[in-house]
Amino acid sequence: MNILAISDIHGEENTKLFEYLKNNDIDLVLISGDITDFGPLEFVDTFINKIFDLDCDVIAVPGNCDPSGICNAIKDTEAICLHNNIIYYGDVVIFGYGGSNPTPFNTPGEIDDDKIYASIYELFAEYEFMANEDAKKIKILLTHAPPYNTSADLTSSGDHVGSQGVKKTIHEFQPDISICGHIHEAKSKDKVGITEIFNPGMLKNNGAVLIEINDDDLTYNADIISLE
Ligand SMILES: [Zn+2]
Ligand SMILES: [Zn+2]
């Protein structure tokens, strides 16, 4: 099974994405938020349906620059809005949380960092309570906000502005993979404990994360790729 993760579309389609999906066998596209640039929500329908037409499933979380109503707009396309929720997809379990910790720009999808922490903690705790130890799953945390003090949250001015809540839950629950976005210039791969952290950067800059899973033994390889 192959998963491609993208982020920060901001209302700008990238034809290289569609070409890539046409030429490669991708089962699922993950979107880490900021699908629109403060709207319009009609773009969500246009963009996601183009991905569906290439025979991929879509799971998305909202970003801080998406207006309220974004989850309904995602669901109207029959994609899954995974904000504050968990989904099983084959051998993978995905924990989703959208929005971002507060920014200086007073954007629509900002959430108190303590609330981000408490909510993601709940998702992981619920999973661990229910999980069948014998049925191993690859755990993916899909957020818009990057974990604090990693290469994924480093701005061009040299400041780390990510979410301490996201970082704490990674420390405590150690998912296999953390996919985020939000800091456009921080396209990167990093590691916290055993967790591989990826920020694919803005879609218009051709970054994506490819996760190739061997369905026989559940080994996987994840890396940043260029859609060029
Ligand atoms: Zn963005
Ligand atoms: Zn953002």
Supply the CATH number for residue 28's domain. Answer: 3.60.21.10
Question: Which protein residues have a CB closer than 5 Å to ligand 2 (ion)?
Answer: 34, 63-64, 182
CA of 33 to the centre of ligand 2 (A): 7
Residue 17 belongs to what H/E stretch?
helix 15-23
CA of 216 to the centre of ligand 2 (A): 36
At position 23, the amino acid (one-letter code) is N
Q: What sign results for the dihedral spanned by CA atoms 16, 18, 22, 27?
A: positive
Return the biggest CA–CA distance within the chain: 47
Beta bridge partners of 199: 188
Give the chain's domain count. 1
Quote the domain boundaries for residue 143. 2-226
Q: How far apart are CA 39 and CA 36, in angstroms?
A: 5
Enumerate residue ranges in the chain where pLDDT < 50: none
Helix (H, G, I), strand (E, B) or coil at 228: coil
Q: Which ligand is nearest to the CA of 111?
A: 2
Question: pLDDT value at position 136?
Answer: 85
